[in-house]
Chain A
Amino acid sequence: MKQTSVLKRISESRLLWPLVAWAMILIFNAIVEPGFFKLGIIEDPVYGKRLYGNLVDIFNNGAPLMLVAIGMTLVIATGGIDLSVGAVIAISAAMGAVLINPALGNELITNDILTRNATNTPLPLIVLANLAAGTLCGLWNGLLVSRAKIQPMVATLILMVAGRGIAQLITNGQIMTIYYTPYFWFGNGYILGLPVSIYIVALVLLLAWLLVRKTSIGLFIESVGINAKSTYYSGINEQNVKLLAYTFCGFCGAIAGLILSSYVHSADGNNNGLNYELDAILAVVMGGTLMTGGRFSLFASVIGAVVIWTFTVTVYSLGVPANALLAAKAVLVMVVILLYSDYIRRWMNQFFERRGQKHGTAN
């Protein structure tokens, strides 16, 4: 009978499906392209010995999405949605670029100033400004949703559209290339042979986990997502719970913007973090959080983000052109939606139950 409960626990775990999906993509790669898993160590001129290979790239390039998925999980768990994270990434990136060289904001500057590897603003201040800009965006979303009671989709749509404009205002409408090398560390650096961005994701994930699971905030978020009215009647300030979720999501978007602009050495108001909100939502859904809110798992959402990036890298390595990626992704979305539909779920549960019973009688 013990086996029944283990099987059942596994089948009920939120981590199961994203892990299964990931395993399926990895197995596919193992068959189609044996070189996919190749890992090696090379000497990096700046950061010393480091690991390289597809798997490292997946985690390094996927880091911004994982961060955004963490924030998005909390927002969706309250029963909301944040469409503005892509724009928040752009704002955060623009903030960094403009502070590295304030002169960049002006149009008449010499190439000499533009491309020098130096800055007048201390790096910690630049990072702080990045984070502050994104967090403020989140706060704005939170105020619209919790205080002005605007529907989350509409409220965050405002910043989704306006945010890219704001990012361009900050950079004066230009795509700004960054030449200041210490800034590159966040997106390209290595600690002990692993990308810095992985450490950042781990840190934010830990922080978020502590925030929601070691305080009552996680319980309140789930409660608000399931039944906001009952939660309010129980004496919980549901407005502040929502405000916190959106603000935290903005914060996550800001870090993602920092890593992304650092990785690509530039800030582009139009393209930084484009479509990230949609990928993040997909990651959260894959992680088993319902779009209507309620129970959530941060880890499952992060794995969801990993799945999306593994899929992306796989598609690229198969030689599918970049502009056809969206079409390929649509297939992924469709499979996910089917797997998570009530009908398939019920069928799966029945399957697991029958398996469990068989084991039960066999023992």
Chain B
Amino acid sequence: MIEAKNIVKMSGIAKSFPGVIALEDVDFTLRSGEIHALMGENGAGKSTLIKVLTGVEQPDEGAIELDGKFVQVRSPQHSQELGISTVYQEVNLCTNISVAENIMLGHEPYRFGSIHWQKMNELARRAINRLSLDVDITQPLGNYSVAIQQMIAITRALEVLSAKALILDEPTSSLDMHETNLLFDVMRTLKNEGIGIIFITHFLDQVYQIADRITVLRNGKLVGTYDTPSLPRVELVAKMLGRSLTELDAISKEKSHEEEKMHKQHLVEVKGLGRTGTLEPVDLELRASEVLGIAGLLGSGRTELAGLIFGIDSPDKGSLVVCGEKVNNFSPLESLKRGIALCPEDRKAEGIVGDLTIRENIILALQARYGWFKFLSMQKQNEITEKYIQLLGIVTPSPEQLVKNLSGGNQQKVILARWLATNPQVLILDEPTRGIDVGAKTEIQKLVMQLAEEGKSCVFISSELEEVLRVSDRIAVLRDRTKVAEYSSSVDDQTLIHTMAGEL
């Protein structure tokens, strides 16, 4: 093994934005040949620290050393030249050109004034072999899965930009288990070659699976850097949250008796509902005062099912009965009037309206129901906003803050508030806790259970089984665009996993 030395040493880093201190006196070191997990809730300062390191932002205070030399990272390009490369969650390569072209982009070998294709493919192939990937480099990049694309991005970072430090920002969030392991193999290979890797993720399991050291940030301050074996999981979470875990445990005990809910009113009946090419016919019923969990892998049809019930698409098969009435008119507005609400999966693209204020975002759906000419008075708007900021604990200096400036968890709460303000009977939550910090996650889970207590029917869609199990009274499992099973909440996660995987 190569002797470990510091590749990156950041000391006393401080950065503030108007009204917010993003980083305060943060130290961070990355050694060669280590995988270093950077942990923290949303808003802890992880991304700002990375932006400082990659030259996107300039620090107000503090110094950065690379290989023992002080440097000023002027821009992202400059950081690449210095040997720091970042691979983002969304791969920023071109899917329509070949793998080889992607790897060599901007560094193509030339002969007689035109690209030397043979040599380029040769170089690309050698690079790919280094990570022992099974990829045909002449194929368009788009032919490969996101996981492979990510590894090709890593290849590019290593080979062409000859990176010494690699930053992986949430690389596994859209990968399945097999792909994640593939990526981890690559990461281990690189580690053994002496490359330092900064690994950012929300998945605790993965941190313990692969990271050598963990740095925890909270509210822009450094909590500490620890060797992974010396930091038990519970303590890590406690450090990230700055509080104990009893709150997390308390939730599952609040679950009320299932039996008494069995004969509760059927609010929504889904009979053979489907849409060609989107969802095979599904039967399902939503009852008052209960949480229906929906488990399924990405692409299993869970989002599509939610979309059909909410009227984003019109179904062409089966029927939907809401409160005893058959639905003929499918649109979000009609659903809103029927008392159905949907917190969509893609918070940024389908949920928030970023440049509007918190107040405007919260009243949007209620105002949609009132229409154009019955405009809520400013006083009424402020009342509603205040109420939900308090109720959901939205952290913001002012209700007039633009929603795009909030952290993910708070944005999700704003969208929840938007729908709660319309007082819906049925609340469909599609991945409400994705990409938000542990604290906000617990709060949202609690809220969902509380809403069910109050008589509402909640649908909870999530790819985290543990979460589905904790929150739900019943669990429907989707696979290959249709419902394959329904369980009571006493089901164990092994059964669920096997059902989702199609082994039952």
A residues touching B (Cβ–Cβ < 8 Å)?
214-217, 219-220, 222-223, 226-227, 229-237, 294-295, 353
Contact = CB atoms under 8 A, between A and B. Distances in A.
Contacts of B360: 219, 223
Given A219-B360, A223-B364, A226-B356, A233 B372 contact: no
B375 A234 contact: no
Interface in B143-177: none
B349 A235 contact: no
Interface string B52-64: 0000000000000
A218 to B, nearest CB: 9
Contacts of A237: 331, 333, 368
A320 B364 CA distance: 51
Contacts of A295: 355
Interface of B: 18, 312, 331-333, 335-336, 342, 344, 349-356, 360, 364-365, 367-376, 418
A231 B354 CA distance: 11
Highest count of chain B CB atoms <10 Å: which of A216, A226, A231:
A216
B342 A233 contact: yes
B17 to A, nearest CB: 11
22 contacts: A215-B375, A216-B370, A216-B374, A216-B375, A219-B367, A220-B367, A223-B360, A223-B364, A229-B349, A230-B350, A230-B351, A231-B353, A231-B364, A233-B342, A233-B344, A234-B368, A234-B418, A235-B332, A235-B333, A235-B335, A237-B331, A353-B18
B153 to A, nearest CB: 28
Given A232-B332, A233-B342, A236-B333, A227 B369 contact: no
Nearest to B337: A235
B355 A216 contact: no
A233 B350 contact: yes
Contacts of A235: 332-333, 335-336, 365, 368-369
B372 A216 contact: yes
A216 B344 CA distance: 23
Given A233-B332, A234-B418, A235-B333, A226 B354 contact: yes
Contact of A223 (B351, B353, B372): B353
A220 to B, nearest CB: 7
B373 A215 contact: yes
A52 B372 CA distance: 42
B71 to A, nearest CB: 24
B136 to A, nearest CB: 36
Q: Name the residue among B331, B335, B342, B367 with the largest chain A CB count within 10 angstroms.
A: B367
Given A234-B332, A235-B336, A237-B333, A227 B352 contact: yes
Contacts of A231: 353, 364
A214 B375 contact: yes
Nearest to A290: B355
Nearest to B419: A234
A28 B354 CA distance: 40
Contacts of B335: 235
Nearest to B312: A233
A217 B360 CA distance: 13
Nearest to B336: A235
Contacts of B336: 235
Contacts of B374: 216
A230 B333 contact: no
B354 A227 contact: yes
A230 B344 CA distance: 9
Most buried by B among A232, A234, A294: A234
Contacts of A216: 367, 370-376
A231 B332 CA distance: 10
A215 B335 CA distance: 23
Contacts of B368: 220, 234-237
Nearest to A229: B350
A294 B371 contact: no
Contacts of B344: 233
A234 B365 contact: yes
A243 B18 CA distance: 39
Contacts of A219: 356, 360, 364, 367
Contacts of A294: 355
Contacts of A233: 312, 332, 342, 344, 350-351
A344 B375 CA distance: 38
Given A227-B349, A233-B332, A222 B370 contact: no
